[in-house]
Structure 1
Amino acid sequence: MSDVLSQNEVESLLAALDGDASASDFGGGGGQDPAPRTGGQISVYDFKRPERVSKEQMRAFQALHEGFSREFGAALSGMLRSIVEVRLISVDQLTYSEFVFSLENPTCFNLLESKGLEGNLILDLNPSIIFPVVDRLLGGGRHARLSNPNRALTEIELRLVSRITQLAMRGLEKAWSNLCSLDLHVTQVESNPQLVQIVPPNEVIVLISFEISMGDMRGIMNLCIPFNTIEPLSGKLSSDTWSAYTKRAADERQKLSLEKSVGKAKVKLAVQVAETTVTADEIAGLAVGDIILTQRDQSSGLEIYLEGRPMFRGSPGMLKGHKAIRVGERIRPAKELIAQQLGESDEPEKK
């Protein structure tokens, strides 16, 4: 047998391999029809990054912070006396290590503590927008900067940036007011993000990124929320929760106009003198001067009804030749009386 195969032998081996492969793919041949292959969609899943935040909750975060971005941009414009646009660009979930290593070094890394949540939040401000903002607060900012210094913020710059941070925290507290009371305050400011470890590296976090634009200058602001911090609020993150964020306080002019219009509405007022039950024979035997006895005591007064509901007690009388009734005490509803009795029964226990 020669060591070198001829061309015919090579083609024979390849044909045999193709026949074996086709037979194994279709159940060994035998005249049977091949099983149909399903074209199911394959999705990639990374076990290092589990999807712990549902899509509905992610949409809730997006809607919640879109309102925050608009109000924060307006507040920032008023402080800097310049047009500043804050736009929500992404809401993602990733690990804490991925978030930290994606940041610039140095940066303005603010560690926030909340009394309403168990854990810390992170507010990161990119140097590409921080230095132009500081320049604007110090009287400059008329022209775009060619480059930003590659250094940490000085003490004076940190004091100026804290005004921006305070604006952002107040806006977040207002945006989250329907979920919980955040009551944020800064506990630590670092220039190197890798020096702060608030959760394990593989812990899932929700990263909310904003783009801050001031003229030709742009920068990124990141809000990092660990999942274990917001896990107790998972049930509240629904469309019904953040919709109330857009509600405004009633305008005083509209309030007075509504009160004036409602004040002109007519309501039915009736006074019940007494109530009793008599038979048909008694009614047939009634004559002028007869007295009908009722179960109401004379000293109890009369009941005044508004739209069919008892509201006050009063006493009958005459005023300028007309029948009248003097309004007395208010009739308290049963629910109010029960609540009062429960409150009185709780007071001895506290003592």
Structure 2
Amino acid sequence: MAADKAVLSQREIDALLNAELSAAEPEHHATTADGPRRDLAPGRKIKPYDFRHPEKLSKEQIRGLQIIQQGVAGALAASFSGRLRAPVEARLSALERGIYEEYVAQVGTASIVVTIDMSPLQGYAVAAFGVDVAFGIIDRLLGGRGKRNAKALNRELTDIELALVRHIGMDIARSLIDPWQRVTELTPDVTELALGAQVLHVVPPSEFVITAWYEVRFAEQTGGISLCFPLTILEQVLPRLSGQSIFDNRPTRGADRDTRVQESHLKPMSVGIKAFLGSARVPATDLANLQPGDVIVLDQEAGDALRIMIGNCERFAGAPGTKGKRMALQVTGEVDDDGWVRPFEGTAT
């Protein structure tokens, strides 16, 4: 009989369980799905931390880098305007932080990818632009209006097109030189160029990067260019990115004095300048039979700019004319190292 009384009925068991749950309810608010948590002290707030995109640069350093990249946008516009002989607009549309594998995913396979050696800094930057942008520029360089050929987007680039695209990559690399002088002297060079992600292995996938995105407009078309800088490069100039020199890039007194000394020595010197109307190849038989009044057709068209030589170097382009009773030459552009004419925004006589 005593053994029977020791066994609880189902109703008694349920009553005990309900009583235990009721006693535990006041402490329920202190637990979460991930386990118990402690209440915060009054006035304190939780600050989320992004482990995938940690804050590697300060706000001042990001601001300094933004100033540099805005300068790169202006240099890109000037460089492409000279290359295409047409107005080009470029602006910095975004400056993003992330990891390299995310940048690779954003670039995709329908892009031209350029690896840039950031010498004397240790490391490589990566530039990318769409194949449609490349074909628009190529069309303009070959005498077209800069229109994109939809059929060409599905084929590989020819050797001639690759050579032209390499010039585009060099323009992007050279556009870094002047803006980056705020923090360091750069001699960037294009080391690799390929279609798609073939050269994107130069940076570890998990590397923290800063990516500058540019919007470029030319020939009534809009395209995008990106420049990706790994943290390993940025770490080498971080102290200067946050310094006053990034916001006020005035030359030092010593450098200014050296410039004045150099100018005082150079100004008295005279330099020979020559302008060439053009040239022609004439068979020896025709040359032997030249008569007064014969016409020799030159290799330049009537509207082409004349090439101006300073010493033995071709440096400027100009248009012929007269001033008073003398022949004159109006300087209209500058010839770069590749032989391309970069027109001036305004002309000088």
TM range (shorter): 0.5 to 0.7
Query: Distance between the aligned counterparts of 2:19 and 2:65, measured in 1?
Result: 60
Q: CA deviation at 1:144?
A: 6.0
Q: Secondary structure at the match of 2:86?
A: coil
Q: Secondary structure at the match of 1:87?
A: strand
Q: Secondary structure at the match of 1:193?
A: coil
> CA 1:76 to 1:41, structure 2 compared with 1: closer, same or farther past 3 Å?
same
Residues 151-181 of structure 1: per-residue CA shift (max 9 Å, x gap):
4432211221222222222221111123222
> CA 1:86 to 1:18, structure 2 compared with 1: closer, same or farther past 3 Å?
farther
Aligned twin of 1:61: 65
- Are the counterparts in 2 of residues 106 and 150 from structure 1 also a CA contact under 8 Å? no
Q: Secondary structure at the match of 1:67?
A: helix
- Larger displacement relative to structure 2 (236-245 or 141-150): 141-150
What does 1:1-351 correspond to in 2, within 5 Å? Answer: 20-25=24-29, 40-46=45-51, 48-141=52-145, 149-244=153-248
| TM norm structure 2 | 0.58
- The residue type equivalent to 2:66 in the other structure is Q
- The residue type equivalent to 2:188 in the other structure is L
- Larger displacement relative to structure 2 (64-73 or 161-170): 161-170
Query: Distance between the aligned counterparts of 2:100 and 2:27, measured in 1?
Result: 50
> CA 1:122 to 1:24, structure 2 compared with 1: closer, same or farther past 3 Å?
closer
Residues 292-311 of structure 1: per-residue CA shift (max 9 Å, x gap):
xxxxxxxxxxxxxxxxxxxx
Query: Distance between the aligned counterparts of 1:107 and 1:142, measured in 2?
Result: 18
Q: Secondary structure at the match of 2:79?
A: helix
| TM norm structure 1 | 0.58
Query: Distance between the aligned counterparts of 2:82 and 2:74, measured in 1?
Result: 13
> CA 1:165 to 1:15, structure 2 compared with 1: closer, same or farther past 3 Å?
farther
- Are the counterparts in 2 of residues 53 and 93 from structure 1 also a CA contact under 8 Å? no
Q: CA deviation at 1:221?
A: 0.9
Residues 74-131 of structure 1: per-residue CA shift (max 9 Å, x gap):
3312321322111101112211111112212132111111321011111112223111
> CA 1:14 to 1:154, structure 2 compared with 1: closer, same or farther past 3 Å?
farther
Q: Secondary structure at the match of 1:117?
A: coil
User: Any stretches of 5+ residues in structure 1 without a counterpart?
Assistant: 27-33, 248-254, 256-351
> CA 1:17 to 1:175, structure 2 compared with 1: closer, same or farther past 3 Å?
same
Q: Secondary structure at the match of 2:183?
A: coil
Query: Distance between the aligned counterparts of 1:189 and 1:148, measured in 2?
Result: 19
Query: Distance between the aligned counterparts of 2:175 and 2:235, measured in 1?
Result: 22
Q: Secondary structure at the match of 2:107?
A: coil
Q: Secondary structure at the match of 1:149?
A: helix
Residues 319-345 of structure 1: per-residue CA shift (max 9 Å, x gap):
xxxxxxxxxxxxxxxxxxxxxxxxxxx
- Are the counterparts in 2 of residues 129 and 212 from structure 1 also a CA contact under 8 Å? no
Query: Distance between the aligned counterparts of 1:147 and 1:19, measured in 2?
Result: 75
Query: Distance between the aligned counterparts of 2:171 and 2:151, measured in 1?
Result: 26
Aligned twin of 2:278: none
> CA 1:23 to 1:232, structure 2 compared with 1: closer, same or farther past 3 Å?
closer
Query: Distance between the aligned counterparts of 1:234 and 1:53, measured in 2?
Result: 8
Query: Distance between the aligned counterparts of 1:215 and 1:22, measured in 2?
Result: 70
Residues 42-92 of structure 1: per-residue CA shift (max 9 Å, x gap):
42412x333222222111111111122123213312321322111101112
- The residue type equivalent to 1:198 in the other structure is V
Larger Rg: 1
- Are the counterparts in 1 of residues 139 and 146 from structure 2 also a CA contact under 8 Å? no
- Are the counterparts in 1 of residues 193 and 199 from structure 2 also a CA contact under 8 Å? no
- Are the counterparts in 1 of residues 104 and 200 from structure 2 also a CA contact under 8 Å? no
Residues 199-226 of structure 1: per-residue CA shift (max 9 Å, x gap):
2211111211111112442222111111
Q: Secondary structure at the match of 1:121?
A: strand
> CA 1:71 to 1:21, structure 2 compared with 1: closer, same or farther past 3 Å?
same
Aligned twin of 1:321: none
- Are the counterparts in 1 of residues 114 and 193 from structure 2 also a CA contact under 8 Å? yes
Query: Distance between the aligned counterparts of 2:161 and 2:82, measured in 1?
Result: 19
Aligned twin of 1:344: none
| RMSD (Å), alpha carbons | 3.4
Q: CA deviation at 1:146?
A: 5.6
- Are the counterparts in 2 of residues 133 and 141 from structure 1 also a CA contact under 8 Å? no
Query: Distance between the aligned counterparts of 1:60 and 1:199, measured in 2?
Result: 23
Q: Secondary structure at the match of 2:74?
A: helix
> CA 1:25 to 1:154, structure 2 compared with 1: closer, same or farther past 3 Å?
same
